[in-house]
Amino acid sequence: MSTGIGHGLAIPHVRMAGLKRAYMAVGVSRDGIADYGSLDGKPVRIVVLIAAPEGQHELYIRLLAQVTERLKDPAPRAAIVAGEDPAQIYGLLVGEER
């Protein structure tokens, strides 16, 4: 199943042995990734990668829920795509608009 969940957003996620803590990375494509295979068929503009330690299911689910909750609103998605620097994009993702 594609991790492109629609509305220009993809959230690839994995639980991995050997990780000591969770990691997230964010990628932004202003042009969009047309061949991502998103569920709605639209280009993906924001990719949020989540990697969590194996055995940390609660943390893993909480991170997925927080990202999807924040980005279900079109305003933060649009602001992230228009973001000028990583600190600004981070602030928008975590709700600390800068």
Q: pTM of the predicted model, to two decimals?
A: 0.89
Predicted confidence band at 11 (pLDDT cuts at 50, 70, 90)?
very high
pLDDT in tens, 55-94: 888 988 998 899 999 999 999 999 999 998 999 998 888 8
Residue type, 10: A
CA distance 26 to 62: 17
**Neighbouring C-beta atoms of residue 3, cutoff 10 Å:** 19
The rounded radius of gyration (Å) of the Cα atoms in the chain is: 13
